[in-house]
Structure 1
Amino acid sequence: MNTIEPRSTPQPHLTLAQADHQDTLRNCVRRSLNEYFRNLEGEAPNDLYPMVLAEMEIPLLEKVLEYTRGNQTKAAEMLGLNRGTLRKKLKQYGLL
């Protein structure tokens, strides 16, 4: 007789304040942006959106390529990109 195992242990309900302190990717970005704004010392940021995207995209591409051992076809599949788009991004960031 086969038994069905639960997929994951249920997580306790967290308050918003508790969830903000979990080490999720979203919270890491949030904390990094808080630090960035604190360090501006009154200066107005420019081109923030492309800067943040690059800061996220570069390590994402590096780690996915590391995980796939450099296999760009597998990396593109994991990322939900076509291979040409992946290669364009790798060239854009000097990773190719």
Structure 2
Amino acid sequence: MTTAIKDDESAPAAHHLRVIQADGTDPLAKCVADALETYLRNMDGHAVSDLYRLVIEEVERPLFETIVRHANGNLTQAARMLGLTRSTLRKRLTDYGLAGR
């Protein structure tokens, strides 16, 4: 399937690019939606609560790990890629036990 990189016109202020499949779908959004559907289906009728916190924690940790690795440990570059300040990134890395790794 062909992919394209397009301007995200809905993004505020800064210039943002998104990867869009030929069928118009966003692969990252689809991956998240699929994971949530699987999670909810596997709950098998059990009550779901605090899902927002769970999703944020499950997404943030690998997001930070991947971006810091991609930036070869350069926290200034990683913070810029994430749209965060360096101090905010360092705090979040500490929160997840990732600081100094």
Structure whose residues are more often strand by fraction:
2
Q: Report the Cα distance in structure 2 between the residues aligned to 1:40 and 1:29, rounded to whole angstroms.
A: 17
Instruction: After the TM superposition, list the runs of 4 or more consecutive aligned residues in structure 1 that deviate by more than 2 angstroms.
Output: 11-14
Match of 2:87 among 84, 88, 92: 84
Structure whose residues are more often helix by fraction:
1
Q: Percent same amino acid at aligned positions?
A: 45
Say which one has the larger Rg.
Answer: 1
Q: Is the 8 A contact 2:71 2:77 kept in 1?
A: yes
2:79 maps to a residue whose letter is: A
**Displacement after TM superposition at 1:29 (Å):** 0.5
Unaligned runs of 5+ in 2: 6-19
Q: Report the Cα distance in structure 1 between the residues aligned to 2:90 and 2:22, rounded to whole angstroms.
A: 42
Unaligned runs of 5+ in 1: 1-7
1:26 maps to a residue whose letter is: A
- 1:34-73 to 2 correspondences below 5 Å: 34-73=37-76
Give aligned pairs, total.
Answer: 82
**Displacement after TM superposition at 1:12 (Å):** 9.1
RMSD, aligned α-carbons = 2.4
TM-score, scaled relative to structure 2:
0.72
